[in-house]
Amino acid sequence: MYNILFNRHIGLNPHSLLLPEPVRDVGDYGAIATTGLTSGHQGCVGCGMVSGTNQVLRALKLSGKHVVASIGTGCNEVITTQNTSCWGEVSVDHNNFPNTAATLSGNIAALKALAQAGGVSPESIVNVGIAGDGGTYDIGLQALLAWIARGENGVYVCLNNQAYMNTGVQGSGATPYGTDTTTTPFGKAIRGNQRTPQYLLDLALAAGAPYVAAACPLWHRDLMIKAQKAAAIEGPCVLEVYSVCPEGWKSDTDVFHEITELALETRSWILYEAERERDTNTVLFTLNYLAKKYLPISDYLRLQERFAGMRDFPEMVRRAQEIIEARWSFWRPVMEANGIEWKEEARAI
């Protein structure tokens, strides 16, 4: 348990209570001469994960540190390391599917041992773990929570595309309610995914993470600020990135922008961050974005054929709306503090 405080200010936040200085807002600097993944990767057209990885890497490189990425098996690894490496000046350690956080932990230990021996300065390196939602919410959760609990210094990035896309769109612990996946098909008897996703960042906070943040590549300034903060804050920080997947979401490849905007306007993806002040056991929550419009969830379901089945079932759409409202009610104090009307009803039906 922890005390909860809300940041009254909604918006981009390069400041942190845990850092002496704000991190760089890349928007203030215009073009940045860092690169993410190099050309030649095999990612799909319209892949959100590639953008996410690129932005994370570019943000981390802004610090001038050498990036050591411990990556888990999944799309991200397969499309970037097949027979050649697309990681440019980043050192990459791919180990296995379930052990991204353990591999990260091993590399952090190696860095510590090397620093003890006087070979490497730990300040010159940033250790980052990168995995998908399957490797984070499901098979890698044990290693991740243990890594957080041990309080090791690094960044963990979950590229969340809400199902097992690399193996052919099977339902994961991050799959939304009602989604049609190959293992939660929209059938006559059971209509798609019946569970609600668990919330990774809540788990991470409960395990003791000093900083957690949810971001999306569309709001790249926000994402890159968050990645820099996670790297600068001492301890295990977790960043979750919304990753559009045209293949798994059965959407057009050119609606990356629209889908993400709708996710934010329907509040089914929330850009927020939380930092934990250890001594007082207080967690400060900041809402980083509030869309001008509050749209019903049915709008979000429109562009993605994975939701095609549930669109015809009003009670399912209502349930999806309830899930969002229940989660969003957490932010009520911030909304009220800003004099923003709290809309209970945004239901389409």
Site for other proteins, rule CB under 8 A: 66, 68, 70-71, 77-78, 81-85, 87-96, 98-99, 101-107, 109-114, 116-117, 120, 124-125, 142-143, 145-146, 149-150
Q: Please say which residue, 96 or 183, places its beta carbon nearer to other proteins.
A: 96
CA 292 to chain centre: 22
CB of 150 to other proteins, least distance (A): 7
Say how far apart CA 262 and CA 246 lie, in whole Å: 15
Q: Please say which residue, 71 or 158, places its beta carbon nearer to other proteins.
A: 71
Per 3-state DSSP, the chain is made up of helix, strand and coil in percentages (nearest 5) of 40, 15, 45
For 92, the enclosing helix (H) or strand (E) is strand 91-94
CB of 156 to other proteins, least distance (A): 14
**What tokens were used for 254?**
């050119």
Q: Please say which residue, 5 or 114, places its beta carbon nearer to other proteins.
A: 114
CB of 142 to other proteins, least distance (A): 6
CB of 112 to other proteins, least distance (A): 5
Q: Please say which residue, 72 or 176, places its beta carbon nearer to other proteins.
A: 72
Give CA angle at 231 (86, 11), nearest 5°: 105
Q: Please say which residue, 143 or 213, places its beta carbon nearer to other proteins.
A: 143
Classify burial at 73, counting beta carbons within 10 Å of its beta carbon; exposed 0-12, middle 13-18, buried 19 or more.
buried
**What tokens were used for 180?**
């049609």
Identify the DSSP state of 192: S
Name 126's bridge partners. Answer: 67
Q: Please say which residue, 94 or 306, places its beta carbon nearer to other proteins.
A: 94
Say how far apart CA 157 and CA 133 lie, in whole Å: 10
CB of 190 to other proteins, least distance (A): 32
**Of 155, 243, 139, nearest in space to 204 by CA:** 155
CB of 313 to other proteins, least distance (A): 40
Name 67's bridge partners. Answer: 126
For 241, the enclosing helix (H) or strand (E) is strand 236-242
